[in-house]
Structure 1
Amino acid sequence: MATRKEGGSSSLVQKFAAASTSESSRRSYAQDMRHFKAWGGKVPATAQMVAEYIAAYGGHLKAATIEHRLIAIHREHQDQGHESPCKSPLVKQTMEGIRRSHGVAPRRVRALLKEDLVEILVSVARQKPLKAARDKAMLLLGWAAALRRSELVALTVDDVVRHAHGVELQIRKSKTDQRGAGQTVFVPMAKSKDRCPVLALQEWLLLAGITAGPIFRQVSRHDYLVGEKGLTPQAVAQVVQAAVRVAKGEEVAATVAAHSLRAGMVTEAAMAGMPVSEIMGVTRHTSAATLYVYIRPVEKRRVRSLL
């Protein structure tokens, strides 16, 4: 039976309290707080100060971005034992005014369909061999398995189980599985060897000499592997945007992100008539309503004229 120890118990409390929030969320909140303090904010802050802060950016930032920064300010006050100014009627009314004045429609990134993917893979192939192999594997695997960017960079060699006709990926933690119960996705081999995610993954691991640890790692401008650490989630977006920029130009590149791979797979599957239940088996969505954000536009395009 465990006995109470001074000091040791409090450090464990801090450890598990920190684990209640994902690492990516903590980084995001810290970035929001740096923005708030750079503007002139401080902790503890008054309701007037916070209201003036969000009003200053009401016409420049998306409502969702401002709301995220309010959450960061709220959490920072709670963590330091202060009363949160974000609960005040003044801050709530200011935020509601921003929503009404500028709208709350979320930004929808462009979905990269199969034909888009094939086009950008041509531009990727023109890169130096190691970087080309890595980017090809990232793009194909991210698209075929509908992976979130955090899931893609978290993959390790041990998370890949090879089968005769594909690979099974172990997703140890995801947006809808914060407690790490684990999920699996099977990625079948493609009919075309040139765009097969399984073969692309094997080629990358062989060329890079990776036999353990993170699968996707940094490649230097001289085309050699840099260290043993995995890439950051932001690196996935950079790879996607760079590939699209070369293939389709700057204007199109500005409309895509890492999520374009996941959105593209869902959209392509819906266009092919794949049942929602099968799509959810790949995407691991817990709600069909969330999935329909991608499927409904496809269904609308199928509506036949009644005239």
Structure 2
Amino acid sequence: MSKIDHYLHAGTRDNTRVAYQSAVRHYEIEWGGFLPATSENIAQYLVDHAEKLAVNTLRQRLAALAQWHIDQGFPDPTKAPLIKKVLRGIQREHPAQEKQAKPFQLEQLGIVDRWLDQAITTANASGDRAAELRHTRNRALLLLGFWRGFRGDELTRLQVEYIEATPGQGMNFFLPHTKADRQNKGVTFKAPALNQFCPVAAYTAWKDLAGIESGPVFRSVNRWGQIRNVGLHMDSLIPLLRTIFKDAGVADSDDYSAHSLRRGFANWATGNGWDLKTLMEYVGWKSVQSAMRYVDAVDPFARHRIAPGLPTSDPPETLKIENNSEPS
């Protein structure tokens, strides 16, 4: 790979690159399309998958095909008016409500944290180092993910050398790349030390127990207590979290995802008086639209706003008599 290719490769996020490669492979191999494509080819591809794939998935497939044509020096067929009209028609004929991750609440965080604390104590007492390492790692993963509102890929990309933790005070995280950092300048996040459910103490305990001095923070641990040098894969995060929740006794554990921690924190913050600007700065959202996708209303059904305006007593006695009187 030349240096030019190296930097071109580095200019695209890994998750995006993998998703685009998968989309192009689906178009060529699974559907049998030809590249370069015409707008008519692309339109037929959309029509054939209109009832199978969500509109957002179709948009992602279009973005991948567009990037392929641009990279190869061909005109982009996805920008044709035909494609826009077909996609608009699919959206009207097959509307779908956007699915969102179920928020992980503070009460549930407490349940899991107490379970992990007991599991760590039990593993330590029995000399089960592998279990002690896994539970200690999971506790740090959970508390950092919640209190920082990290995305799943951000959690898995945390590096020890980019973290400064001061026990009893807080910690700084530097992420060289984030989804919202379009200019690739890197972003610094902060998290406080807390009296309970403390992310700083949990991180320090994991780092010290694992003896990690550099590289990925969160890594897999095998049955013999050996820690891998590479970080957890993003695809393993959701199954890992669901297993933790299930083992701790959280109901409907399969309804949660990595984004559940982010949504849970956002709802906790707004429910405790954080204004939207403060929340956006803390989590790292650049637009109000992005933030609002994660924040549920404190009174989602407007019951507490409507109920006070309703009458609380029975109708006047005279009205009841009139309604019950026999017809003349």
1:23-172 alignment runs, 5 A limit? 23-37=14-28, 38-103=30-95, 105-121=97-113, 124=116, 126=119, 128-163=131-166, 164-172=168-176
Contact 1:22 1:178 (8 Å CA) reproduced: no
The two structures have a TM-score, normalised by structure 1, of 0.86
- Counterpart for residue 191 of structure 1: 195
Contact 1:64 / 1:106 at 8 angstroms: preserved in 2? no
Cα separation, 2, equivalents of 1:248 and 1:219: 24
Deviation at 1:60, TM superposition (A): 2.0
Counterpart for residue 17 of structure 1: 8
Q: Distance in 1 between matches of 2:278 and 2:70?
A: 42
Identity of aligned residues (%): 29
Q: Which residue of 1 aligns with 2:222?
A: 220
| Structure 2 unpaired stretches of 5+ | 121-130, 311-328
RMSD value, Cα:
2.4
Q: Which residue of 2 aligns with 1:267?
A: 267
Q: Which digits, 9 at most, give the CA deviation of each residue in 1:94-145, with x for residues without a partner? A: 2112111122542211111111222334555658221111111111101111
Partner of 1:281: 281
Q: Which residue of 2 aligns with 1:233?
A: 234
Give the structure-2-normalised TM-score: 0.81
Query: Structure 1 residues 46 and 263 mapped into 2: Cα distance closer, same or farther (>3 Å)?
Result: same
Distance in 1, matches of 2:59 and 2:84, equals 10
Whether the 8 Å contact between 1:130 and 1:224 is mirrored in structure 2 is: no
Specify whether residues 12 and 270 from structure 1 end up closer, same or farther in structure 2 by C-alpha distance, changes over 3 A only: same
Pair 1:181-2:185 in alignment: yes
User: Matches of 1:261 and 1:277 in 2, distance apart?
Assistant: 20
Which residue matches 1:4?
A: none
Alpha-carbon spacing, 1:122–1:48, altered in 2? closer, same or farther (3 Å): farther
Give yes or no for contact 2:263–2:295 (8 Å, CA) kept in 1: no
Shift of 1:239: 2.0
Q: Secondary structure at the match of 2:298?
A: helix
- Name the structure 2 match of 1:298: 298
| 1:98 counterpart letter in structure 2 | I
Q: 2:33, 2:14 → 1: CA distance? A: 24
- Judge which range, 84-93 or 140-149, deviates more: 84-93
Q: Which entry has the higher C-alpha Rg, 1 or 2?
A: 2
User: How many equivalent pairs are there?
Assistant: 293
Which structure 1 residue ranges, 4+ long, deviate > 6 Å from structure 2?
none
Q: Which amino acid in 1 is paired with 2:41? A: M
Q: Matched residue of 1:53: which SS?
A: helix
